[in-house]
Amino acid sequence: MVLPLSTVSMLFGSTQSSGGVDFSFITRGASGASTMADAGSTKIALTNAAKNEARQLADVAKDPQVVKDLARYEKVLKNADSIDDVLNDPVARKVLMTASGLKGDIDNIGLLKKAMLSDPADRKSLAARMAPINGAWLTFAKEYNLAKYGLDRLYPQMDGVGGRWRISLDREGKAIEAMLEIKQTRGVWQAQVDGVPIPIAVNGEDVRLDLLWRDAEDELHTSRLIGVLGKNGLSGAQFDDGFKIDASWKAEPYFADALKSVGDDYIAEKRLDILDAQVPGLGSAVLFKQVAKTFKNATDVLGSRLGREVISVAFNIPKQIAVQSLAAQEKAINQRMNPAKLADDAYADIVAQRYLIMLNGGQGGITA
């Protein structure tokens, strides 16, 4: 089947994406004389997309609109009092949802507020109940757990020495990390390390923590941490069983990288959008290869919009099958391919190629 001229141009020509980022180099090396979506051309597109990933991400990160979006997101988070403040801002909502692979639900604010605050451990939560249809919501609930951490998970909610800290200290010559939570209730300071209450004394920016721990022989020891709040967090001296040790301890906001993490994910998703604009489905194919190992069975495939899309198109499974029972949908997938084989990178690559070929009007021509 001959591809339409517009599709051929996307596959082999030089085009500009929205925002002025030019990704035409992703298909360089493909023969301009070819007009077929075949294994050769799709393999080149996938290979070049992977080879040029760092350059593509750097270009997207500099795109003026992306820079503007991320700046707005940071501003909203810094001034937010609740998750509602984030979701009520169109740009902040777009950034967070896109970064989380949930851009398809950006305008469904009612759903967002309920699903985002789902307890990942609650099987009756909205995110858990939606998992068979769109597993990305449960993934979001597990990754961010806003039900437990609130806005702190998106932007550190620190108040002097108060807040959640990632504490690093010495334990018998080995560095260990834990979550230290410090809060003030009715004028009284309280602290926990990984959920276990510990004594704490606070005097302005000075803090003292006392911990009990057992060694390999089950003998009880004490560690006293004396430190001060600085621009990089808490830090100071450590005393084990009353003696100062050479190693010091420190603590930084537990979710210090939250803004950067969302920003990186947003840039990565925008890159995939641009790849899709260059070659229809290329961004989806690239992402599919990255996450293919997570699809252990047909249920996993159906619970992922990406997995369902790629597998359905690649193996010519009618989309109308979505109205049938889950068992019937799983049977349709298992009759055509073995999801367990997606753990093999080579097999996942073949499926991704087949998806691109079928999506762009070519013939299967490749066995998966």
The model's pLDDT over 264-317, given as tens digits with 9 standing for 90+, comes to 999 999 999 999 988 899 999 999 999 999 999 999 999 888 999 999 999 999
* Residue 248 predicted with pLDDT over 60: yes
Rounded to an integer, what distance in angstroms lies between the CA atom of residue 124 and that of residue 295? 23
The model's pLDDT over 188-209, given as tens digits with 9 standing for 90+, comes to 999 999 999 999 999 999 999 9
Judging by beta carbons within 10 Å of its beta carbon (0-12, 13-18, 19+), is residue 243 exposed, middle or buried?
A: exposed
Model pTM score: 0.81
Altogether, the residues listed in the chain come to a count of 368
pLDDT grade for 37, boundaries at 50, 70 and 90:
low
Mean pLDDT score of the chain, rounded to an integer?
87
The first and second tokens of residue 47, run together, are 């290979």
Specify the amino acid at residue 359: L
Give the bridge partners for 171, in sequence order. 174
**In this structure, are residues 126 and 215 in contact, taking their beta carbons and an 8 Å threshold?**
no
The model's pLDDT over 64-91, given as tens digits with 9 standing for 90+, comes to 999 999 999 999 999 999 999 999 999 9
**In this structure, are residues 258 and 155 in contact, taking their beta carbons and an 8 Å threshold?**
yes
Strand 200-203 to 163-171 pairing? unpaired
| All structural domains of the chain | 5-63+259-359 (no CATH), 81-153 (no CATH), 163-253 (2.40.128.120)
**In this structure, are residues 126 and 114 in contact, taking their beta carbons and an 8 Å threshold?**
yes
